[in-house]
Structure 1
Amino acid sequence: MKESIKNFEDSVDKQVNIISYTTFMIDTFGNVSPDNNDLHNLFLTFLKAGKTEYSQFIYNGIIVSLYGSFERLIEDIVESYLTSIICHSDTFEKLPSAIKKNHTELSLALALKVGKDRNREIEEKSKLQSVIISNLNTCMINKDGYKLNVSAFSSHTANFRLDIVRETFSNIGLSSIIDDLANNIEVIDFVRAEKGYGEGENVTNNEVASTIRFKLDDLANRRNEIAHGTKPQNYLDYNLLLSFCEFMKIIGKAIYTSCSTSNNRVRLKNIDLSHYDTVYMNNPKVFIKPGVIGFKIEDVTGLSGFNLKVGTKIFITNNNDEIQSEATLVSLIVNKSDANEYLISEAFEFGIKLDIPLENSFSRRKFFFYN
């Protein structure tokens, strides 16, 4: 998924560079002295074009590129997400329920779509359909080595307006994707700035969600107008195009963040603690401001001989031993003194700093340490 978002951001940056270069040239040409007739007339021609055919050309190119990059981002993230989920789930039954539920229907839809593809030879279409059905069969018998039809989840026939984005991610179990976007800090800050809210003024969740819907649907509509040769009801000037680019970059990153977080939850859910040689501690005290978790160990039964050290890995679970987070120990204090490591042999007190943000709920969690 990292490569997907990087490629998307690079693509958007290229559009920003094109707009910035164009506005720079127009501003420069506009300052040419009228005394230089030849150059002045040439630049006036450019300036005129900049407001008509040339500006329309830039507008069309930016909109089509933005939409194409966004479409590719969604497809790539969906496929990358599924590929990663498969690595964490050794059988089909261990996959998230939405993926299991939608796999058959989407696979058959993909097979039909392949069959109608006019750009493929009959033999090629038949071969691809056979692979789709064969993969579907491996999932139905639920054996090790099942093969998911990943492209069935990224395949689509409609443009990526908001509802299609929601449906696409819901099919892979990420039904809260739009809520995640509406609660993303960078998205909220963009909407607040665009609406001209002052410092301390709060933007409502409905305003953020409405902005996301309008901009994604507007991008798809504008792309369709260009593709069908229809003149847009209105063009966006260069400043508005720059703002559109900024929004798409922010929303793309928010989608990536939401999917990465969900992917990590699935990965942690499928970890079997019994496969790790861990020692267990609980009832810590959490000090959010200094970022420290403290433990007081009076009974070292089951802990004696464990080498607690910087770099020790930790699984943090709920009371049902379901892993909620994982972390690495980055700083250690033992009996009020800094330490790089400590071989447990007797009762002691220690504090640790982790490489993840602390939560008050950690005081109710179990901590499984391992090296």
Structure 2
Amino acid sequence: MNYAALSTALARLDDLRCFSELSENKITAVKHLLTLDLNVAGPAFEWANKISNFSPGRTYDYACSIVLLYGVLERFIEEIAEEFITNVVKVAPTYDALPDKLREAHFDLTVSHLQRTRGSRYDGRYDAIQIVDAFSGCLSGKIPYRFIVESMRYHTSNFRVPMVDEFFGRIGIESASRRCVKTDEFDAFLKSYDRIASNERPETVLDLINDLVVRRNEVAHGDTSNVLAHSEIIPYCDMLSAYCKGLTTVINQTFINYIAKYGTDHGLPIAVYNHNIVCIYSRGVELIPGSLLLIKNSSNNWYSVKVMQVQVNSETVTNAPAGIDTPVGLKIDGKCKKSYKIKSIIF
């Protein structure tokens, strides 16, 4: 599945890398301009001279980068958690069908949310009446139920790695950072920096994430005594990028494992061609381009793919006929084997 939180985070990290590189280039340009004759450089010489004599400039660049980097982390954590919960709620037919941990956290955080509405600085989207009405419907078994996801974003601590794990753990995503480090996405980052995660405590390799939080707090309190060079910001961007990608993989796998029990079982494929064209019985499901398929591989792990094209009787159609169990050919955006079990999810 695609998560908007990841796309947003990666785009902002690309901007921060660009900012760091341009800031480094600015230093080189200033040094070059100061070597030129004033008559040749003209106004650019005066600008370069002011830049070189403005010693706080580097500190301001550093503070800006650190605050924005931490902002990427915090926004990503909050938004991908909200996307995960929203998707789970779409699939769960009743409030009681939600994962136990998610319901427990929802109870506590809804009460906290309700208390915060009394504060003069409260600026949430929901007032006390709306929160109570939705929560009452959840507890009474109302169908459909209304789950206010905004309550679940609340936290009081900065996102050091242990806090990230606690934040995700309360909604049913256990050991998120430890599992993240073991993903292919994070492993690629480690290899690019010639680093290895320990088997005992793999999450300790996330040292730059914790250091980023420390630096953000220092900057917020006016302490800029430990300024990094522009080039030293890049590894923070790279680790945060890998962390976001790895966490997304962990979150998506947790979601897939949860929703698999609600999928329509299509059994084993009738046939598979080129690994990306599968033929199955529709079981009456109105499969369309964009439909989500869950596939269980030989290791009994589920993964998801999207339907790109639907064919019935060798003709491309907009959808498989609803309510009719018919053989369909599906072109998917992933790979499958004839021995893999397939389910479909509509939400």
Q: TM-score, normalised by structure 2?
A: 0.75
Alpha-carbon distance between aligned partners in 1 of 2:17 and 2:296, rounded to the nearest angstrom: 45
Partner of 2:218: 225
Show the 5 A alignment for 1:121-136.
128-136=127-135
Q: Is the 8 A contact 1:327 1:354 kept in 2?
A: yes
- The CA distance in 1 between the partners of 2:252 and 2:336, in whole Å, is 19
User: Is the CA contact 1:182–1:205 (under 8 Å) kept in the aligned structure 2?
Assistant: no
> Which residue identity does 2:89 align to in structure 1?
I
> Residue in 2 aligned with 1:298?
none
Q: Does 1:148 align with 2:142?
A: no
Alignment partner of 1:363: what SS?
Answer: coil
Q: 1:81 aligns with which of 77, 81, 84?
A: 84
Are residues 145 and 220 of structure 1, via their aligned partners in 2, closer, same or farther at CA, if it must alter by over 3 Å? same
Q: Report matched runs for 1:49-88 at 5 Å.
A: 49=54, 52-88=55-91
Any idea what the Cα deviations from partners look like across 1:86-117, whole Å, max 9, x if unmatched? 111121011122112222112112223333x3
Separation in structure 1 between the aligned mates of residue 241 and residue 340 of structure 2, nearest angstrom = 38
Identify which of 256, 264, 269 aligns with 2:256.
264
2:339 aligned with 1:363: yes
Distance in 2 between residues matched to 1:256 and 1:30, nearest whole Å: 43
Tell me, which stretches of 5 or more residues in structure 1 are unaligned?
Answer: 274-279, 296-302, 333-338, 342-350
- The answer to whether the Cα contact below 8 Å between 1:284 and 1:293 also exists between their aligned partners in 2 is no
Q: Which residue of 2 aligns with 1:236?
A: 228
- CA gap of 1:228–1:329, structure 2 versus 1, over 3 A, is closer
RMSD of the alignment, in Å? 4.1
Matched with 1:345 is none
Q: Percent identity?
A: 20
Whole-Å Cα distance in 2 between the matches of residues 281 and 96 of structure 1?
26
Alpha-carbon distance between aligned partners in 2 of 1:29 and 1:207, rounded to the nearest angstrom: 45
Residue 174 of structure 1, CA deviation: 0.9
Map 1:95-174; keep pairs closer than 5 Å: 95-115=98-118, 117-120=119-122, 128-174=127-173
Structure showing greater radius of gyration is 1
TM-score w.r.t. the length of structure 1 is 0.70
**Deviation at residue 60 of structure 1 after TM alignment:** 0.4
Distance 1:167 1:104 in 2: 16
Contact 2:269 2:278 in 1 (8 A): no
Residues in 1 aligned to 2:34 and 2:94: alpha-carbon distance in whole angstroms: 73
Q: Relative to structure 1, is the Cα distance of residues 293 and 182 closer, same or farther in structure 2, using a 3 angstrom cutoff?
A: same
Cα distance change of structure 1 residues 83 and 330 upon mapping to structure 2, 3 Å threshold: closer
Return closer, same or farther for 1:141/1:324 CA change in 2, 3 Å cut-off: farther
Within 2, Cα distance between the matches of 1:141 and 1:284? Answer: 44
Instruction: State the distance in 2 between where 1:219 and 1:66 align.
Output: 8
Which of 40, 46, 66 aligns to 2:51? It is 46
**Partner Cα distance (2:56, 2:342) in 1:** 65
Q: Within 5 Å, give how 1:276-295 maps onto structure 2.
A: 282=268, 291=275
Distance 2:189 2:306 in 1: 31
Q: Which amino acid aligns with 2:236?
A: F
